[in-house]
Amino acid sequence: MLALFQPHLYSRTQHLAYGFARALATADAACITDVYPAREEPVPGVSGRLIVDELAALRPGMRIGWAPRLEDAAAIVAGWARPGDVVLTLGAGDVDSVARVLLERLR
């Protein structure tokens, strides 16, 4: 299973980076985007990269992508995908907008 995850809110990402990484560690590969801010202002030092770093520490050698932009994350995940793979998009922002992009790239 390939996961494309867009964290939601800076405060949530800051406090739950390890928990997000633990959940994503169950995937075969994961690509994380930057934070969907919603109602929050950016917090210095907080980005989706926190989750990438936690995930790398939890699963050394795991295929992990860091793509601040959704479109770039979709390209990375589509490049990893092979016939029969399950691709899962996760997040509460606008991550669902890449579903079409992924489908087009996977055809």
What's the pLDDT tens digit per position in 57-69? 999 999 999 999 9
Rounded mean pLDDT of 53-59?
A: 98
Parent domain of 72: 2-106
76 has a pLDDT exceeding 90: yes
Cα separation, 83 vs 2, in Å, equals 12
CATH number at residue 30: 3.90.190.20
What's the pLDDT tens digit per position in 4-40? 999 999 999 999 999 999 999 999 999 999 999 999 9
Cβ neighbours of residue 19 under 8 Å, at least 6 residues apart?
none
Least confidently predicted of 1-10, 55-64, 70-79, 91-100: 91-100
Give the pTM: 0.95
The count of structural domains within the chain is: 1
Q: Which two tokens stand for residue 79?
A: 């490049």
